[in-house]
């Protein structure tokens, strides 16, 4: 894809859209294409994460060893950002990612993403605001479900899965 096409593509992803065109241009120029065939592993659960990936086409199965159901799977398709947290902080991969078909991704290294934010303070502020809104929404949602867990504990039911 040409850089302008990459910018348009990245602009469809909320995390990048809030950054603005100039920051997306820098990220698009710096993004590294990664081509996988079905069955190829992108990364393994527990590995250090040094950036994120955007699925351009194809699909990636994300499966953690603590998934509750044997058939439980999450599939990332075109336009999905995998590893958003890894763009801003040191973390470990929470799941194993495997291509389910021929897949193209754009790899965005953390150091490039952070340098872009340093050079684009408006982009950094917009990302901070977006993440703050998301965190507030998550905390609100947790407040709504907390009474359900408290009721189960009072009734003597287990609230954690068996190992």
149-157, Cβ contacts within 8 angstroms, sequence gap of 24 or more = none
CA distance 123 to 93: 25
- Evaluate whether residue 160 is within a structural domain: no
| Helix ranges, 88-162 (H) | 110-119, 121-154
| CATH number of the domain that residue 25 is part of | 2.60.120.10
Give the pLDDT confidence score for residue 163 in this predicted structure: 46
Look up residue 45 and give its two tokens: 């659960």
pLDDT tens figures, 111-163:
999 999 999 999 999 999 998 998 898 888 888 887 877 766 676 665 555 44
pLDDT tens by residue, 61-106: 999 887 656 666 799 999 999 999 999 999 999 999 999 999 999 9
Model pLDDT, residue 159: 52
Instruction: Tell me, yes or no, whether 159 lies in a domain.
Output: no
pLDDT of residue 1: 65
Any domain includes 90: yes
Q: What is residue 81's three-state secondary structure?
A: strand
pLDDT at 68: 59
Range of the domain at 7: 3-154
Stretch 23-51: mean pLDDT: 96
Residue 116 lies in a domain: yes
DSSP bridge partners of 92: 48
What does pTM read for this prediction? 0.81
Residue 82 resides in a domain: yes
């Amino acid at each position: 894809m040409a850089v302008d096409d990459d910018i348009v593509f990245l602009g469809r992803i909320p995390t990048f859209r809030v950054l603005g065109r100039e920051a997306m241009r820098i990220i698009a120029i710096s993004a590294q294409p990664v081509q996988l065939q079905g069955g190829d592993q992108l990364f393994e659960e527990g590995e250090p994460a040094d950036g994120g990936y955007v699925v351009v086409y194809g699909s990636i199965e994300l499966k953690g060893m603590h998934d509750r159901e044997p058939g439980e799977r999450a599939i990332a398709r075109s336009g999905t950002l995998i590893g958003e947290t890894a763009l801003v902080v040191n973390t470990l991969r929470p799941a194993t990612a495997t291509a389910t078909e021929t897949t193209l991704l754009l790899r965005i290294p953390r150091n490039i993403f952070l340098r872009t934010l340093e050079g684009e303070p408006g982009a950094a502020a917009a990302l901070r605001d977006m993440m703050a809104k998301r965190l507030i929404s998550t905390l609100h949602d947790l407040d709504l479900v907390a009474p359900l867990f408290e009721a189960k504990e009072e009734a003597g039911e287990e609230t954690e899965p068996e190992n």
